[in-house]
Amino acid sequence: MEGVLPINQVVSEVEQQEYIINMGPQHPSTHGVLRFLLSLKGEVVQYVQPHCGYIHRGIEKMTEKITYPQIIHLTDRLDYLSAHMNNEAVSLCVENALQIEVPERVKYIRTIMAELSRLASHQLWWAAFGMDLGALTTFFYGLRDREYILDIFEQTTGSRLTQSYNCPGGLMNDIHPDFQKKVKEFIKNFRKVLPEYNQLLTGNVIFHERTKGIGLLSKEDAISFGVTGPSGRGSGFSCDLRKSHPYSAYDKVDFKEILYTEGDTFARYQVRMDEMLESMNIIEQLIDNIPEGDYALKMKAIIKLPEGEYYQRVESARGEFGVHIISDGNKNPYRVKFRSPNFSNLSAIDSMARGFKIADLVAISGSLDLVIPDLDK
């Protein structure tokens, strides 16, 4: 066998060469159509270059042709797992511009709905994150429990995913008579199930090996890159807008801002696990105290905002969602900008993944909990 190199030499040569590899756009662990251009030496990631825009729909351009109540339906299609929070951001922005105050009942229901969708979003993230790392059972557990919340949404809003429930001036319709009973049932059930989640994954040695010390993001980098939400709080960046700039009924409830300082994948995991508990605490404080009253204000048929600029920040399940409306006094906005949390979170992936293995990149992007339609707009 002349001319055949010994295996050790082949391996060492392969590890010296630089490979450029496309991960995606159709790849199960990018959770949508996102392409990472990777440079690899052996298994080690040299750099990551995200390529996005595969589902760019031009939502910001579309908003310039439609009215304010119609924008609500487009914001559902940004981050579809935090549709309630996105609706709420636009509604609050329009309400602040018109200087109207919605009834207390609306504030309470908005907060409960936002926390329910945060729970549903974190459940789906937990399900998919486990599956990214090879634990298939988590997917069934997570989706099974998320179904309860989607049923509650369907009963009240008529839709499971793109609810369009909040609108300028209040809510589309009142809550279903069974709403409170079902939410309490769900929480009672989920409090029993959450320890199972922890038994299955949180204490698992293999899971620790795959996540601890992987994908480090310092606090300075998190602030500079604008990594917000649970991903930012895993690096000790105190960015919870529910605490720092309370809106709706968040100033009436008592809850903790979850902060971890390690900045690795496991810290981001733990923030979300603890946030699920906090979300349940918030809902429990509000669910029995929903005040009586109207579910919406009577708004004019055509809403025109006074000329000027308006900005609203809310905490979505993935971080800070912002709406910037520039109005010229017409029934259509002059310019609308959506600040999507995923877009800023994605920008940090290069500095997080460098020097780690390609399999760790899957864990890192999973821990950022990317939703692609949100960053592509």
Applying CB under 8 A, the residues found at the interface with other proteins are 52-53, 56, 58, 60-61, 96, 221, 223-226, 228, 237-239, 244, 308-311, 313, 320, 322, 324, 326, 335, 337, 339, 343-344, 346-348, 376-377
- If the CB atoms of residues 58 and 158 are measured against other proteins, the closer one turns out to be 58
- If the CB atoms of residues 39 and 202 are measured against other proteins, the closer one turns out to be 39
- If the CB atoms of residues 247 and 343 are measured against other proteins, the closer one turns out to be 343
- If the CB atoms of residues 49 and 173 are measured against other proteins, the closer one turns out to be 49
Least distance to other proteins, CB of residue 307, Å: 11
Least distance to other proteins, CB of residue 347, Å: 4
Q: Give me the count of residues in the chain.
A: 377
Least distance to other proteins, CB of residue 82, Å: 17
The answer to whether the beta carbons of residues 286 and 308 sit under 8 Å apart is: no
Hey, what's the torsion of the CAs at 258, 263, 265, 270, to 10 degrees? -20
**Token pair recorded at residue 52:** 């996005």
Q: 320: which strand partners?
A: 315
Least distance to other proteins, CB of residue 90, Å: 15
Least distance to other proteins, CB of residue 50, Å: 9
- If the CB atoms of residues 41 and 56 are measured against other proteins, the closer one turns out to be 56
Hey, what's the torsion of the CAs at 106, 110, 116, 117, to 10 degrees? 140
- If the CB atoms of residues 73 and 337 are measured against other proteins, the closer one turns out to be 337
How far apart CA 346 and CA 344 sit, in angstroms, is: 5
Least distance to other proteins, CB of residue 324, Å: 5
Least distance to other proteins, CB of residue 368, Å: 14
Least distance to other proteins, CB of residue 252, Å: 21
How far apart CA 194 and CA 199 sit, in angstroms, is: 9
Measured at the alpha carbon of residue 183, what is the angle toward residues 179 and 187, in degrees to the nearest 5? 175
- If the CB atoms of residues 96 and 285 are measured against other proteins, the closer one turns out to be 96
Q: Scanning the structure block, which residue is given the tokens 């557990």? A: 141
List Cβ neighbours of 198 (8 Å cut-off, separation of 6 or more). Answer: 273
- If the CB atoms of residues 221 and 284 are measured against other proteins, the closer one turns out to be 221
DSSP, res 213: T
- If the CB atoms of residues 248 and 344 are measured against other proteins, the closer one turns out to be 344
Least distance to other proteins, CB of residue 112, Å: 26
* CA distance readout (Å), 138 to 57, 123, 230, 266: 32, 10, 20, 16
Buried b (16+ CB within 10 A) or exposed e, 185-205: ebbeebeeebeebeebbeebe
- If the CB atoms of residues 132 and 376 are measured against other proteins, the closer one turns out to be 376
Q: How far apart are the first and last CA of the chain?
A: 58
Measured at the alpha carbon of residue 110, what is the angle toward residues 323 and 231, in degrees to the nearest 5? 55
Beta strands in the chain (DSSP E): 18-23, 26-27, 32-33, 35-41, 44-51, 166-167, 170-171, 308-316, 319-327, 335-339
Least distance to other proteins, CB of residue 137, Å: 36
**Token pair recorded at residue 177:** 């008579």
